[in-house]
Amino acid sequence: MGLSEQPVEVLQQFAAGEIEAFETLFRQFQGEVYRWIIRIVRDPSAAEDLTVDAFWRIYRAHARFDPSRSFGAWARKAATNVAIDYLKTARVPGVSLDENLLAESAPDPRAGNPAILREVRERTQHAFQQLPAKLRVVATLALIEEVPQAEIAEALSISTAAVKSRLFRAVRLLRRKLGSLDINHE
């Protein structure tokens, strides 16, 4: 996660269930976990709740943590799992796309028209919402957040090839759903 890791003693204390060590790790990684979750769910209030849930899961699983490993990577995996669970069950508002991004990516001269931009944005958000959660997470992180595929693979505990496969499937489904808009220019 971007922050330097704690000394191994703190990680060992956390793995042993010491609450002070957990609080230290919580303070250090809370912001990073929140930012990771918001990149996936695109909803600040949901991300706040999910951050708490992620740390609750982290605390409950302390005995399974290996102090020789990265706590940041472990926390990101827990955060990803919480976000995926949320996407599977919640009615989420969708991927937030700004009009400048759409204007840059659409070579159509009509793309500057606010009504057309709004329709494209709404249909794109709707198409993202219809993706299965596992594909939506990969598509959001790779296409919107531009997270490297290796980082996505680590967070999801899958191979980079699996990330590429999920991304390919997500793009194929999005193109199919958005085909009627004629915005699938390469």
Extents of the domains making up the chain: 8-89, 99-181
Average pLDDT on 36-50 reads 93
With 0-12 / 13-18 / 19 or more C-beta atoms within 10 angstroms meaning exposed / middle / buried, residue 82 is: buried
What is the CATH number that goes with domain 99-181?
1.10.10.10
Average pLDDT on 125-141 reads 88
Residue 156 token pair: 């999801």
In this predicted structure, what is the pLDDT of residue 181? Answer: 58
Class of 8-89 in CATH = mainly alpha
Average pLDDT of the chain to the nearest whole number: 83
Q: How far apart are CA 49 and CA 8, in angstroms?
A: 29
pTM score, two decimals? 0.70
Asked which of 18-27, 96-105, 132-141, 154-163 is least confident by mean pLDDT, the reply is: 96-105
Is pLDDT of 99 > 70? no
Q: How far apart are CA 14 and CA 19, in angstroms?
A: 7
